[in-house]
């Protein structure tokens, strides 16, 4: 297929596809799916080999969020029966993180519900980072605390945070349809604050919220322009008790096409297979490893994930290997840019994904064929952080 050959050639040169080409990936048929995965897999292997980076989530504060993000089980007015608790003590968070590190995770992601942290919250998280790094010196720590105020990114960086996560989630044009309590511009600003402070930016999307192909391409091209080092691709977990509980729009095949499109648009960026993979990819998860070079190990914030041992078995059985702490995740050209930013570059556009050149107009998207609701695959997390039960790692 000429399209795939063109996309592979561009990906190996770190050149972005046009919008028209990205849309064409999403429009490919199921008959062409393995060809699409194989083509994107060539790009993935060029920049990341057969390594899989493991990340581990620690939910520092769960539920009772004042924001109204429609996809979130922790949102204002959510009736989802999730765990609700206030801030974990640093020693408890460190203990939870240690379980993930013991399972092979090289990055720990510290997440807290809420619009954004207070200065006191920054103090709490700083002490937690210190406690984690005392026990695991080589582990990367990523903070995800919501919208940042002036000076907070610098304080987190000084405390030892290596990265900051704040997802764009969907296109700017449709952002107001899923959230009204903050704006798309607020999210962009927080990512840029993290970059300016010298932290590695982590920003991605959520697919399956009823968006069009154009929306998916829009947000991924916006992410490329923003130039994060990590792009998590989440698939909506339709929690009962949230406004999007009835949105079951994804098939395993569509999820794979979305991942392939992201890989082609951001060829040398850490693409992370994130929340919802077990729900929507199911038995086709191993194919996604040919597209993404990073996954979350075990459970998510409020939902259970695949057993940690099953994750490790899946990686080994698919012929991949867990990335060690002695290996740099990003290709040398991006890793050097990250180091330069941490040393004081701070511009947030040092890497090659900052190209925002005009591209071809987008053709009309095809209708998305959904799937039957698989509510049996959505399980609320009842173990790990915030409980007395051991975590899944």
**Percent of the residues in the chain that have a pLDDT greater than 90, as a whole number:** 75
Answer for the pair 392, 307: CB distance below 8 angstroms, yes or no: yes
pLDDT at 157: 98
Rounded distance between C-alpha atoms, residue 76 and residue 202, angstroms: 25
Q: Does the annotation list 72 as a binding residue?
A: yes
Lowest mean pLDDT among 11-20, 220-229, 299-308: 299-308
Mean of pLDDT over the chain? 90
Phi first, then psi, for residue 354 (nearest 5°) are -85, 5
Q: Does the annotation list 155 as a binding residue?
A: no
Q: Does the annotation list 353 as a binding residue?
A: no
Measured CA to CA in angstroms, residue 240 lies from 74, 126, 247 at distances of: 12, 34, 11
Q: Does the annotation list 65 as a binding residue?
A: yes
pLDDT greater than 50 at residue 383: yes
pLDDT greater than 60 at residue 5: yes
From the list 272, 277, 334, 381, the catalytic residue is: 272
From the list 44, 157, 187, 202, the catalytic residue is: 202
Catalytic residue at 144? no
pLDDT tens column, 311-364: 999 999 999 999 999 999 999 998 887 777 676 544 333 333 434 333 333 333
Structure tokens at 113: 């519900």
Task: Please tell me whether residue 139 adopts helix, strand or coil conformation.
Answer: coil
CB within 8 Å of 367: residues ≥ 6 apart: none
Lowest mean pLDDT among 27-31, 109-113, 336-340: 336-340
**What's 149-190 look like in SS3?**
CCCHHHHHHHHCCCEEECCCECCHHHHHHHCCCCCHHHHHHH
Give 296's DSSP letter: E
pLDDT at 344: 59
Q: Shortest CA distance to 249 belongs to which of 166, 366, 362?
A: 366
- Looking up tokens 């204002």 gives 76
Rounded distance between C-alpha atoms, residue 195 and residue 201, angstroms: 6
What's the first-to-final CA gap in the chain, in angstroms?
41
User: What is the mean predicted confidence (pLDDT) over 239-247?
Assistant: 90
Phi first, then psi, for residue 164 (nearest 5°) are -135, 130
Catalytic residue at 350? no
From the list 14, 72, 257, 350, the catalytic residue is: 72
Q: Does the annotation list 266 as a binding residue?
A: no
Give 348's DSSP letter: S
pLDDT tens column, 250-269: 999 999 999 999 999 999 99
pLDDT at 351: 38
pLDDT greater than 50 at residue 293: yes
Phi first, then psi, for residue 112 (nearest 5°) are -140, 135
pLDDT at 367: 40
From the list 14, 44, 107, 109, the catalytic residue is: 109
Question: Which strand (E) or helix (H) includes residue 222?
Answer: helix 213-226
Q: Does the annotation list 202 as a binding residue?
A: yes
Quote the crossing angle between the two packed helices 19-26 and 252-265, to the nearest 10°: 160
pLDDT at 373: 85
Q: Among 33-42, 68-77, 236-245, 382-391, which range has the highest average pLDDT?
A: 33-42
Rounded distance between C-alpha atoms, residue 305 and residue 251, angstroms: 18
Q: Does the annotation list 272 as a binding residue?
A: yes
Answer for the pair 182, 115: CB distance below 8 angstroms, yes or no: yes
Question: Which strand (E) or helix (H) includes residue 321?
Answer: strand 321-322
From the list 19, 142, 334, 353, the catalytic residue is: 142
Structure tokens at 266: 């951001």
Answer for the pair 294, 52: CB distance below 8 angstroms, yes or no: yes
pLDDT tens column, 121-177: 999 999 999 999 999 989 999 999 999 999 999 999 999 999 999 999 999 999 999
Catalytic residue at 13? no
Give 392's DSSP letter: -
Rounded distance between C-alpha atoms, residue 33 and residue 28, angstroms: 7
Q: Shortest CA distance to 21 belongs to which of 9, 6, 36?
A: 6
Domain with residues 22-355+362-377, CATH architecture: Alpha-Beta Barrel (3.20)
Phi first, then psi, for residue 256 (nearest 5°) are -65, -40
Catalytic residue at 65? yes
């Amino acid at each position: 297929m000429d399209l795939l050959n063109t996309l592979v050639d561009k990906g190996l040169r770190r050149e972005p596809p046009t919008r028209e080409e990205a849309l064409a990936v999403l429009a490919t048929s199921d008959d062409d799916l393995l060809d699409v995965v194989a083509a994107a897999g060539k790009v993935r292997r060029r920049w990341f080999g057969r390594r899989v980076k493991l990340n581990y989530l620690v939910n520092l504060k769960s539920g009772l969020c004042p924001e109204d993000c429609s996809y979130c089980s922790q949102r204002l007015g959510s009736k989802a029966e999730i765990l609700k608790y206030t801030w974990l003590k640093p020693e408890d968070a460190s203990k939870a993180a240690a379980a993930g590190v013991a399972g092979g995770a090289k990055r720990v992601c510290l997440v807290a519900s809420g619009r954004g942290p207070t200065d006191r919250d920054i103090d709490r998280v700083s002490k937690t980072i210190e406690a984690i790094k005392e026990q695991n010196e080589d582990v990367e720590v990523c903070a995800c605390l919501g919208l940042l105020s002036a000076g907070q990114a610098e304080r987190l960086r000084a405390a030892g945070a290596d990265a900051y996560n704040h997802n764009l989630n969907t296109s700017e044009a449709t952002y107001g349809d899923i959230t009204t309590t903050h704006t798309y511009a607020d999210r962009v600003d927080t990512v840029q604050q993290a970059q300016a402070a010298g932290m590695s930016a982590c920003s991605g999307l959520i697919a399956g919220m009823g968006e069009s192909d154009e929306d998916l391409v829009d947000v991924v091209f916006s992410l490329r322009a923003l130039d994060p080092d990590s792009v998590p691709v989440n698939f909506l977990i339709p929690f009962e008790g949230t406004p999007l509980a009835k949105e079951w729009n994804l098939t395993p095949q569509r999820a794979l096409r979305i991942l392939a499109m992201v890989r082609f648009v951001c060829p040398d960026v850490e693409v992370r297979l994130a929340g919802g993979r077990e729900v929507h990819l199911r038995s086709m998860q191993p194919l996604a490893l040919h597209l993404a070079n990073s996954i979350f190990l075990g459970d998510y914030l409020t939902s259970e994930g695949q057993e940690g041992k099953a994750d490790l078995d899946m990686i080994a059985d698919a012929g991949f290997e867990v990335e060690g702490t002695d290996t740099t995740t990003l290709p040398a050209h991006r890793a050097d840019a990250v180091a330069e930013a941490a040393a004081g570059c701070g511009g947030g556009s040092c890497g090659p994904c900052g190209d925002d050149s005009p591209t071809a107009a987008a053709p009309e998207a095809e209708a998305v064929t959904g799937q039957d609701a698989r509510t049996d695959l959505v399980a609320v997390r009842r173990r790990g952080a915030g409980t007395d039960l051991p975590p899944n790692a």
